[in-house]
Amino acid sequence: MALLEVENLQTHFRAPDGINRAVDGVNFHVNAGETVAIVGESGCGKSVTAMSILRLIPEPPGKIAGSIRFNGRDLLKCSDREMRAIRGNEISMIFQEPMTSLNPVLTVGRQIGETLRLHQGMSAQQAEARAVEMLKLVGIPEPERRVREYPHQLSGGMRQRVMIAIALACNPKLLIADEPTTALDVTIQAQILDLMRDLKRTVGAAIVIITHDLGVVAEVAERVIVMYAGRKVEEASVEKLFRNPRHPYTQGLLGSMPKLGSSLTGEETRLQEIPGLVPSLKRKLEGCVFASRCSHTTDLCRKVAPALEEKADGHIAACHYAMKEAVAA
């Protein structure tokens, strides 16, 4: 049994002009100790998927349907109290903006200690001592001094380390990282990714990493889920996906990635972009979600939505022509 099994997840938001189907029927699973990346461009529903797992979507206007089984328990059927006991304890989360995700008026130690006091019943003193250990673990120098400092006294990279310390304080089984490096400098990004990889080994948590940065995916993930317009369009192991992307959208994503040094070797080529925009999620889409932007669109694509099919061993894609179009166009 997988650690996390998401089945037919639908997260819809009621808006004044209709229903926004931010996530519309997504299935995936995460095994214990595995790192899975969810990629896609802005507005594809990847963050909403992450937030739905912890049920952090405000309801209303949001509505989560389907099933999210964690260790066999359906999180969507849990009471608020049961959910609170899971959040920060068995499943924890790191957010994109370390600058604004920490509470500015509470000390770092208090914020790390809060989860320990909530979930492990530690006293304030025990929690602070453990907070110092956690700061040491995430590589913050002078943890005894930093533990009494406030977020504004730390740099962006250090704040993200503090967020990781908070997330890992209770040894969760699953860590959801929503664009954990997007707001950081490139050098700091690498440090944070290294840290996450190291900690994953020591803590043994499974990681779901949400990102639009394929470089990050190649760096940390074992399996990749590509999302587009609220659906999963492709899923494969990292090697397979990078070597042989099946879905035209994934091919587009990979094609739009700059290659280091390409301008120096004389093969200066224009980066390929994906034309057009993500379709509005307010209308029920007919046919393939990517049809309006795909260069291979046929009448079949516009009328019939392609099912997710296993195109090769462990390689799933939703495209009518994925078999034939195995190589990037």
Partner 1 sequence: MFAYVVRRVLATIPVMAVVALFVFSLLYIAPGDPAAVIAGDQATPEDVERIRQSLGLDRPYLVRFGAWVFDILRGDLGVSIFTNLPVVTMIKQRIEPTLSLMLVTLILAVSIAIPMGVVAAWKVGTWIDRSVMGFAVLGFSVPVFVVGYLLAYVFALELDWLPVQGYTSFSEGLWPWFENLILPAIALGSVYIALIARITRATMLEVLQQDYIRTARAKGAGQTSILFLHALKNAAVPIVTVIGIGIALLIGGAVVTESVFAIPGLGRLTVDAILRRDYPVIQGVVLLFSFVYVLVNLAIDLLYTLFDPRIRY
192 binds partner 1 (CB under 8 A): no
Question: Do residues 229 and 290 lie in contact, with contact meaning Cβ atoms separated by under 8 Å?
Answer: yes
Query: What is the distance between the alpha carbons of residues 146 and 126, in angstroms, rounded to a whole number?
Result: 17
Comparing CB distances to partner 1, the nearer of 205 and 233 is 205
11 is a site residue for partner 1 (CB under 8 A) = no
Rule CB under 8 A: is residue 251 a binding residue for partner 1?
no
Give me Rg for the CA atoms of the chain: 21
Question: What does the alpha-carbon distance between residue 257 and residue 255 come to, in Å, rounded to a whole number?
Answer: 5
77 three-class SS: helix
**Site for partner 1 (CB under 8 A): which residue of 19, 32, 76, 85?**
85
Binding-site member from 4, 54, 127, 206 for partner 1 (CB under 8 A): 54
Min separation Cβ 82 and partner 1, Å: 10
**Which stretch, 102-110, 190-198, 240-248, 249-257, contacts partner 1 (CB under 8 A)?**
102-110
Handedness of CA 219, 183, 136, 141 (dihedral sign): positive
CB of 253 to partner 1, least distance (A): 27
13 binds partner 1 (CB under 8 A): no
Task: Kindly tell me which residue out of 47, 92, 160, 250 binds partner 1, with binding defined by CB under 8 A.
Answer: 92
Q: Cα dist. 234→30, 214, 216, 237, 300 in Å?
A: 15, 14, 18, 10, 19
Q: Is 159 in the site for partner 1 (CB under 8 A)?
A: no
| Residue 83, Cβ density class (10 Å: 0-12 exposed, 13-18 middle, ≥19 buried) | middle
Token pair recorded at residue 171: 């040894």
How many residues are listed for the chain in this entry? Answer: 329
Among 23, 166, 220, 316, binds partner 1 (CB under 8 A): 166
Nearest distance in Å: CB 92, partner 1: 7
> Which of 7, 97, 222, 309 contacts partner 1 by CB under 8 A?
97
Q: Which residues bind partner 1 (CB under 8 A)?
A: 54, 56, 83-89, 92-93, 95, 97, 100-106, 114-115, 118-119, 150, 152, 163, 166
